[in-house]
Amino acid sequence: MGRNRILSCAFALVLAFGLMPTTAFAAQEDAGATLEARDNDSLSNATTINVGATVTGALVDGYDDDFYRFSLSSAGVVTLTFGTEFVDENKGWTVYLRDQGGDSYDSWGVYRSHVGDFTTQQVGLPAGTYYVQVAPRGTTTATYHLRVNFEQRGDWETEYNDNRSDADAISVNSLYYGSIFDGYDDDFYRFSLSSAGVVTLTFGTEFVDENKGWTVYLRDQNGDDYDRWNVYRSNVGDFTTQQVGLPAGTYYVQVAPRGTTTATYHLRVNAANEPSPGSYGFVDVSPSDWYATDDVLGYAVDHGLLSGYGNKRFGPYDSVTRGQMATILWRVAGEPGASAQLFSDVDYSQYYGDAIRWARSTGVISGYGDTNTFRPDDPVTREQLCVMLANYAEKVARVSTATNCVALDRIAGADQVSSWAREQMGWAVDEGIISGEATASGTWVNPQGNAQRCAVAKMASVFHRDVLGLG
C-alpha cells in the first residue's frame, strides 16, 4: 500500500498553529480504553486507546478533529470499525490511519449511507505506534464510536513496502497476503535463492472488482524485470506463472495495481531447489513460531484437535468459529450422538451439524436464547471459548472449575471480562489454558478478541492433556 504524505488542511493547521478548538464530548469506552480527552486535536495530544477497545466521541464543529494513539507489539493486520446511529444530511467524517510521523496510510469517508458500523480494508503494519484521526466532513452533531481491530499475523505485508528498499522479506515456498488501496500503491517483496533453480509465482484471490486487478513483476536485484503477468477478474482463484530459471541471489516481486481493487491477494514464490520453511507439514508455519512446538501444534494435530486446510496451510491467525469449536469439543468427547436439539439458523447437513446437536444437549455451548440461534459462522471470542471449555469440564468431564480469580486479576484487562464469563476465564487462567496476549504495554487478557487458531491449538492442547488427562 502506498504512502500518502498529503495531510488534510485541518491536520496541517493543527501542526502549524494549534488552531483546533477543544472537543466538548467525552464518553465511556466499552472495552477498556480511556475516555476521549479534551484537546485531543493533534498527534501530541492524542488519546491513548487499546486495540479491541471502543471509544465514543463527537465533533463540536467543522474545525474540530479527534486524534487517538495505539501501539502494536508485533506485526499484524489492522482494520478500523467506525459507526454511528445518525448522520446529518450530506455530512459525516473522514477517518485517517496515520503512522508515527503523521503520514496517512489511507482515509475513509463516512456519510449518511454508512449509518451503522463501517469496517475499513485491512492494513498490514509492523510493530509500532500509530494514530487514528477523525475529521469533519461538514459539521455533524452525531456521536460516533471507533474501534481499532488487530490480528497478529506473520504472513501479511507490512507498510510501507512500496519500493525495493522497503520490500518485505519473505521465504520461498510460503504463502503471504496483501492488498492494494489505490492506483498509486505498490507492494514489494524480497526473496533469496541459495542455489540456482527454477522459480514460479503463484498469485491468487477470491474476488476481483470488475475490470480491475494487478500486474505481478519478477525483478532482479537491480530492479530489471524478468517477466510480468496480468491478473484480472477471469483469474479468480490461483494463477501460477511459467517457470523462470534463476541463479543464486536476491530477487523481488512487485504487485502493482491495474485499476484499484480492494480484494485481498495471496502470493507464493515456488522454488523446488529450496527447502520449505514450513513446520508440522504446514507451509504457513515457521519453526520459530511460538506455537510450533510438540506440546502445542504438534499435540493438537496428533490428537485430532485441529487439522490444516487442503492446501497444506494451517491458517494460524484465522479466527475459529462457533461451529468449529463445537466440532473440536465433540471430537474430544468421542463424537457421541445426541437427540434433536434444533437451532433455527443451523444447517444440520453441514460438518458441524451433529456437533452442535451434542453441544446443545449437553449444555457445553448454548445459543442465543432470545432468537433460538447458534450463529455457527460467528468467530469465537476468547472469553466465550473459556466458557465452552469450563462447561465441558463441569458437565461432561465432571471436573471442578472453582476459582477465586486472583490470577486473572493480575492480568491487564481482567476488569473487561464480561460478568457471565469471569469465573470461567479465572479458572482457565488458573489451569494455564489462557495467559493473555503480549502488547506494547504488557500482557493483556483481551477477553473480547477473536480466538485465533494458533491460540486455540495451545488452549485445546492444555485442556485435553492437563485438565482432562487424555494425553
- Is 154 within 8 Å of 160 (Cβ atoms)? no
My answer on whether 110 and 62 are in the same domain is yes
Is residue 372 domain-shared with residue 231, that is, in the same domain? no
For Cα atoms 371, 373, 378, give the angle at the middle one, nearest 5 degrees.
125
Q: Are 313 and 338 in a shared domain?
A: yes
User: Can you read off the three cell numbers belonging to residue 248?
Assistant: 543464486
Give yes or no for a contact between 80 and 150, defined as CB atoms under 8 angstroms apart: no
Q: Is the pLDDT of residue 321 over 50?
A: yes
- How far apart are alpha carbons 2 and 159 in whole angstroms? 8
| Domain membership flag for residue 359 | yes
153 pLDDT exceeds 50?
yes
Report the range of poorest mean pLDDT among 33-37, 386-390, 392-396, 447-451: 33-37
Residue found by looking up cell 452442535 in the block: 356
Q: Which cell numbers in the block locate residue 45?
A: 495530544
Are residues 448 and 374 part of one domain? yes
| Neighbour count for residue 448 (Cβ, 10 Å) | 21
pTM: 0.61
Same-domain pairing of 312 and 426: yes
Predicted confidence at residue 63, as pLDDT, reads: 85
Give the domain range for residue 141.
9-152
Answer whether residue 135 shows pLDDT above 90. Answer: yes
Please give the pLDDT value at position 403: 96
Residue owning grid cell 486524534: 67
Q: Contact at 8 Å (CB) between 112 and 53?
A: no
Shared-domain flag, residues 137 and 173: no
Q: Which of helix, strand or coil describes residue 324?
A: helix
Query: Are the beta carbons of 465 and 471 closer than 8 angstroms?
Result: yes
Does pLDDT of 154 surpass 80? Answer: no
Report the distance separating Cα 329 and Cα 390, nearest Å. 11
Bridge partners (DSSP) of residue 266 are: 177, 204
Is there a domain that residue 282 lies in? no
Residues 324 and 437 in one domain: yes
Can you state the angle between helices 353-362 and 322-332, rounded to 10 degrees? 70
Q: Which residue has the cell 487514528?
A: 132
d(CA 74, CA 443): 13
User: How far is Cα 375 from Cα 344, in angstroms, rounded to an integer?
Assistant: 9
Q: How confident is the model at residue 263 (pLDDT cuts 50, 70, 90)?
A: confident
> Does 168 map to a domain?
yes
Q: State the pLDDT at residue 277.
A: 65
Task: Confirm whether 158 is domain-assigned.
Answer: no
pLDDT band per the 50, 70, 90 thresholds, residue 241: very high
Residue 415 located in a structural domain? yes
CB 105 within 8 A of CB 97: yes
Model confidence pLDDT, tens digit, residues 166-198: 999 998 888 899 998 887 889 999 999 999 999
DSSP-assigned beta bridge partners for residue 178: 265
Burial class of residue 237 in the structure, from the number of CB atoms within 10 Å of its CB (0-12 exposed, 13-18 middle, 19+ buried): exposed
% of the chain at pLDDT higher than 70? 88
Q: What is the CATH number of the domain that holds 74?
A: 2.60.120.380
Residues in the chain: 471
Rounded distance between C-alpha atoms, residue 58 and residue 216, angstroms: 43
Are 189 and 124 in a shared domain?
no
Is 200 found in the same domain as 57? no
Task: Report which listed range, 168-172, 334-338, 428-432, is most confident.
Answer: 428-432
Q: 459 in helix, strand or coil? A: helix
Contact indicator for 196, 246 with CB cutoff of 8 Å: yes
Check whether 267 has a pLDDT greater than 60. yes
Cell numbers for 253, please give them: 516481486
The answer to whether 447 and 382 are in contact (CB under 8 A) is yes
Q: How many CB atoms lie within 10 A of CB 281?
A: 11
Cell of 317: 491467525
Domain count, the chain: 3
